[in-house]
Chain A
Amino acid sequence: DTGVSQDPRHKITKRGQNVTFRCDPISEHNRLYWYRQTLGQGPEFLTYFQNEAQLEKSRLLSDRFSAERPKGSFSTLEIQRTEQGDSAMYLCASTLYNDGYTFGSGTRLTVV
């Protein structure tokens, strides 16, 4: 068990560019979550997968955001046409039962 891995750790991009982040959950975990955390705030739910199915998506999530989890393994989060307001830490978490979520170290996105 190597924990939840996220790549890259840091990403600096110009406004208007597309970015993609990857999350590798703990292998036996069937549930995967993406959260966004801005400075001084707690993590905010973005989307949720059970196996390969995306079962929930935050109403606050712009159409510029899309996530996939092919084959129920790793997941990717893509942001199209990035805006400065997208600058945040993007966290991935996985769980098997709802009694404990394991978080990755996050991807810090800076849009300039």
Chain B
Amino acid sequence: AQSVTQLGSHVSVSEGALVLLRCNYSSSVPPYLFWYVQYPNQGLQLLLKYTTGATLVKGINGFEAEFKKSETSFHLTKPSAHMSDAAEYFCAVLPSGGGADGLTFGKGTHLIIQP
């Protein structure tokens, strides 16, 4: 069974500061990895994904994440936070061979941007 752990249910950063949201996964084989963002009362929007190839993945809105197999991590970063980044962020995994249960999500991290 796969699982996802997101460290920190709430993360607060100042506008212009580095954003770092942590995600660790548990899986018997390296899975596909995803980050989604959710704004209030909205669905989930894909920020970026890792399937194969380059371990540093760039996504939308200036976000990027690096897959580190040895650390079973897929942390999300952004060099400079913007007020519009305030939202809920979810890390998710999918078995690389596909899985009938689809994505398994972490509990989410609420990102707060302070002016």
In chain B, what residue has the closest Cβ to A104?
B43
Contact B100 A48, beta carbon cutoff 8 Å = yes
Q: What is the interface of chain A, defined by CB distance below 8 A to chain B?
A: 4, 6, 33, 35, 40-45, 48, 55-56, 58, 91, 93, 98-106, 108
Contact B43 A40, beta carbon cutoff 8 Å = no
The docked-state distance in angstroms from the alpha carbon of A41 to that of B88 is 10
Within 8 Å of chain A (Cβ to Cβ): is B101?
yes
Q: What is the interface of chain B, defined by CB distance below 8 A to chain A?
A: 4, 9, 32, 34, 36, 41-46, 49, 51, 90, 92, 94, 98-108
Assuming the A-B contacts A99-B32, A99-B49, A102-B46, are A40 and B102 also in contact, with contact meaning beta carbons closer than 8 angstroms in the complex?
no
Contact B98 A42, beta carbon cutoff 8 Å = no
3 A-B pairs with the lowest CB-CB distances in the bound complex, closest first: A42-B105, A56-B100, A103-B43
Q: Contacts of A93 on B, CB cut-off 8 Å?
A: 44, 102-103
Q: Contacts of A42 on B, CB cut-off 8 Å?
A: 4, 90, 92, 105-108
CB B36 to nearest CB in A, in angstroms, measures 8
